[in-house]
Chain A
Amino acid sequence: MNRLALTAWSAVTPYGVGSEPFRAGVTAGRTALTALDRDIHPGPFTHGAVIPGFSAAAYVGKKGTRTMDRETAIAVTAVGRLIAECGTGLTDRPEDVGLVLGTGSGSVQSIMDFTRDSLTGERPYHVDPARFPGTVMNRATGQSAIRHGIKGPNTTVAGGALTGLLALAYAGRLYRGGHCARVLCGAAEEYSTQRAWLEWHGRGEAERTTPLGEGGAVFLAEPPDAARAAGRAPLAHVLATRFRACATPDGVRQAVADCVRDALKTADVTPAAVRVVAPLGTGGALADQERFALGDVLGTAQPEWVRVSALLGDTSAAATGLQIAAVLAAAGPQGLGPGEAALVTGVDRDGTVGCALLGG
């Protein structure tokens, strides 16, 4: 079995820039939700979780970042920190390194600002041409490749709340298909006033006021032997990813349970071996169904529960990516031990569900 291992990771989150602040915040169970500065973040939400002091100019640099949106800056920063941590040898053969990043719908702020400029300008084409590429949804992945010289497959993945899980599944398939030797894989989401308004109007009444968060996480996924040759130890192996869909919200519990059971069976892992569980935990009633499903499958097992959304709010497309990072944070610097497993699950409002099973 051509299994990939996660051997390094980075995160840019409301706890701060880097994996260490995220690890410390998540393992302490400390909330990053605060009252929002309403001058900077007008919009429907009074509370949220934003990356403190973060901007493209501050973290990517002043050069060429005038038009860089926040989502792209988060992605570029997270990828950059991961490469820095692993050493530049990681991209010595840039053609062999894939980059797979998840997004919601790109930067909705950049897209809708561009349309607004067309509607309000003296002429409908009086828009800033330098801002056009930022309205295209592969911007964050593309800029991350350009700024860090990654020349292998460069793919952007979108799947609502499941985005991080789908990116991980895609990355594995890309590797097994012979398209790259290793993959940087993750997801990013920005806090913007425009996203806040779209979320506010798009949500059901029961979850309307759930605060929003932002952030990004990126993982290095590579075959274990190649990792060891480069002096890296696997933190976790990607044992399985599974996805399902259901026609009505009351089918979510069964769909999540089926997914998780199938993943456990495929990888021959017992519920008792699951040490850490990181559910999505957002979506109103869907979160209850997700929790019930995990109870159904895990039975009397007593894993550690990591609830990222309770700490960071709804991070939308970044959520399941940040949950994977949280599992790695909880596992500690040595990673998951032999025989230990971890589960990450997600439920999207569109009736799709998914999980990833990681193991030591």
Chain B
Amino acid sequence: MRDSQQRPRRVVITGLGTVTSIGLGVPAFLDGLRSGRSGVKPLTGFDTTGFAHANGCEVDDFEPSRFIRHADPEGLGRATQFAVAAAVMAVADAGLGESELRSRRALVSVGTTDAETRDLDALAEQQLAEGPEHLDPVLARRAQAGRLSTGIVRELGLTDVEALTIPTACAAGNYAIGNGFDALRDGDVDVALCGGADAVCRKNFVGFYRLGTVAPEVCQPFDKDRKGILTGEGAGILLMESLDSALARGARIYAEVLGYGLNCDAHHPVAPDRDSLARCMEVAHRNAGVKPEDVDFISAHGTGTRANDVTETGAIRQVFADPPPTVSIKSMIGHSMGAASALASAACALALTEGFIPPTVNHGETDPECGLDCVPNEARPADLTVVQNNALAFAGNNAVLILGRYQEAA
């Protein structure tokens, strides 16, 4: 379905749903980003006895029944509950009525790292205690990655819908949004609910802890004294539609999705590759029809590990003759895994609309090896046109998304 000039349709973001450790919903999330709020506290999602430190960024004020009206929350794992809540918020935020939504052909794509591994943790514990003959059937049923997207379908009562989960680890949110962009641009669907979700779980924390990458107290991306990541959780879901559709219904437009790029290092299971990441940015720029000098700020993957931060800033310098401000909201909300790049995309959309660059908090002194302007500690007012959102994942999966301020004559 192309317009009369056979151009692909333009795609815009008109609704945001955010479940984060610094607030539920757009107003709280926006306020957190502006004020540089940190979501860090001691983890409570599993028994942390025996770890020297166990801080993280959990969502601690989440009541599923506030958002989930139709499905039984008990039938949904925590990551699915987050995804469903964020989708419900995004639909409401877009001002799209439920029956109007149901009348449109939809894509639901949700990225994740661990899906319902929190339930698999619980099942592993049950199995140790009581034997595999006695696993909880409710947990066994709901501990499936596909549930993150089908949970949204059921809650919203969608019928003309394609629903998939994209478990491409910590870059999955950008993958899912890119998938929605392609589907809308081609006219395959009329509305897309895309993003990512993850819930804190023992398996994930233990893995990063064992690798020596978990910071004891706070997450300090690009800081010379950074000590690693903080695991986090949450969900970000974007409601996207064609520009024509948004204009026809007088919707508020947060941002236009200009394009994205994906590639794979095909090199190492966990270590990132600078040249390959640089190439992914170039691919994204080409797909989006922008040049490096058009980018007003970069929302970095910025995990706060040396391997990530030095590699990522090196790749940025390779692509950008004059790198723009480069921030990491993981300093505030931790690494919410599959939700991370979806929430960062939501932050970018808000930044474009509200005219500010979110800060990198907990920042003392910038690591000279990174050496970029990370907008330390305080948000900065800025007139933004194009922003870039980076995401990297285990297995060398890179995904870079480009958003632009919606301009009528673009």
Contact = CB atoms under 8 A, between A and B. Distances in A.
B262 A179 contact: yes
B397 A138 contact: yes
B183 A153 contact: no
Nearest to A91: B266
A134 B135 CA distance: 23
A142 B269 contact: yes
B182 interface: yes
A244 B159 contact: yes
Contacts of A119: 124-125, 128, 202
A334 B309 CA distance: 52
A179 B260 CA distance: 9
Contacts of A132: 207-208, 210-211, 270
Given A112-B123, A124-B206, A179-B287, A145 B264 contact: yes
A198 B123 contact: yes
Interface string B149-161: 1100110011111
B144 interface: yes
Given A105-B144, A350-B150, A112 B127 contact: yes
Nearest to B265: A151
A153 B182 CA distance: 14
A245 B397 contact: no
Interface residues of A, number: 77
Given A112-B120, A114-B207, A125-B209, A151 B150 contact: no
Interface in A256-311: none
A348 B146 contact: yes
Interface string A331-352: 0000000000000000010111
A118 B209 CA distance: 11
Interface in A111-136: 111-112, 114-116, 118-120, 123-125, 127, 129, 132-133, 135-136
Interface in A145-198: 145-146, 148-160, 162-163, 166, 169-170, 173-174, 176-179, 193, 197-198
Nearest to A241: B162
Contacts, number: 255
A151 B146 contact: no
A135 B264 CA distance: 19
A354 B146 CA distance: 14
Contact of B153 (A153, A193, A352): A352
A146 B395 contact: yes
B286 to A, nearest CB: 9
B91 interface: no
A131 to B, nearest CB: 9
A333 B112 CA distance: 39
A246 interface: yes
Interface stretch (B31-39, B163-171, B313-321): B163-171
Interface string B172-187: 0001001101110110
A177 B283 CA distance: 12
B289 to A, nearest CB: 11
A152 B183 CA distance: 19
B376 interface: no
B301 interface: no
Given A104-B145, A127-B206, A170 B179 contact: yes
A151 B137 contact: no
B261 interface: yes
Given A114-B203, A169-B162, A152 B186 contact: no
B199 to A, nearest CB: 14
A348 B160 contact: no
A249 interface: no
Contact of A160 (B114, B150, B158): B150
Given A137-B167, A151-B263, A179-B261, A244 B206 contact: no
A243 interface: yes
Contacts of B137: 201-202
Interface in B116-151: 116-117, 120-121, 123-125, 127-128, 132-133, 135-137, 140-141, 143-147, 149-150
Given A115-B203, A154-B168, A160-B150, A245 B262 contact: no
Contact of A103 (B50, B113, B133, B145): B145
Contacts of A120: 128
Interface in B253-288: 261-270, 276, 279, 283, 287
B267 A146 contact: yes
A225 interface: no
Contacts of A115: 120-121, 124-125, 202-203, 206
A105 B161 CA distance: 21
B166 A157 contact: yes
A124 B161 CA distance: 42
Given A119-B125, A127-B210, A151-B263, 7 more contacts: A108-B120, A125-B209, A146-B267, A146-B395, A170-B179, A173-B188, A198-B135
25 contacts: A104-B146, A114-B203, A124-B49, A124-B50, A125-B206, A132-B210, A136-B169, A137-B145, A138-B393, A142-B396, A142-B397, A143-B395, A146-B269, A148-B266, A151-B263, A153-B262, A156-B166, A156-B168, A173-B179, A173-B186, A201-B140, A243-B161, A247-B157, A350-B154, A354-B162
Interface of A: 43-44, 94-95, 98-99, 103-106, 108, 111-112, 114-116, 118-120, 123-125, 127, 129, 132-133, 135-139, 141-143, 145-146, 148-160, 162-163, 166, 169-170, 173-174, 176-179, 193, 197-199, 201-202, 243-247, 255, 348, 350-352, 354
